[in-house]
Amino acid sequence: MTVTGTVPGMAGTATATLSGGGSSCTLEPSTSFNSVVSAPTPAGTTLSYGEFAFQAVGCTTSVTMTLTYPEALPMNIQFWKYGPQTALAPVSTWFRWASATLSPDRKTVKYTISDNGVGDSDPTVGKISDPFAPGFGPLVPASSIPVDAPWALASLSALIGLFAWRRRRFMLR
């Protein structure tokens, strides 16, 4: 079962292919690539390429979704899912999805989801609802590194200065 659509910020057509789920598992017509994200994202998170949202019904086993984008995704891309972070959690949120794999050409993303498992937004047995999005998470602020021995830091700085001075002196000969 394959659907196609456009992705914000990319030229061309993306495809999504569902496999697994059992013989009666099918995609609902609402399955699509969307430029608008269905739920508010965490602070500092940008989902520039919109989301891919699917609903599959009649699924008796886990399903694998393969998304092929028309252009390569950036090097520092992260994958985000909307749904419960743990199986059957009562609240759905956007969270980073580390289980997705990205092909070497950075165009194809593949991930597996189980009915009522992590990320399945629909608790109905046999129905999987899954918003998924490539994006960028919040930057981690820089933090200082404590120095327990200031004398060691001063000694190391002096040693580096000595090596630089000797090298310069040697190069001038």
What's residue 71's pLDDT? 94
Give residue 42's pLDDT band: very low, low, confident or very high (50, 70, 90).
confident
- 172 pLDDT exceeds 80? no
- 166 pLDDT exceeds 70? yes
- 105 pLDDT exceeds 90? yes
- 117 pLDDT exceeds 60? yes
- 86 pLDDT exceeds 70? yes
What's residue 140's pLDDT? 58
Give residue 162's pLDDT band: very low, low, confident or very high (50, 70, 90).
confident
Average pLDDT over residues 159-173: 80
Summary mean pLDDT of the chain: 84
- 119 pLDDT exceeds 80? no
pTM higher than 0.75: no
Tell the residue number behind the tokens 């995704």, with chain if given. 73
β-bridge mates for residue 16, sequence order: 3, 67
Is residue 63 within 8 Å of 21, Cβ to Cβ?
A: yes
Looking at per-residue pLDDT, the higher value among 146 and 103 belongs to: 103
- 72 pLDDT exceeds 90? yes
- 144 pLDDT exceeds 80? no
Q: Which residues contact 146 (CB under 8 A, 6 or more apart)?
A: none
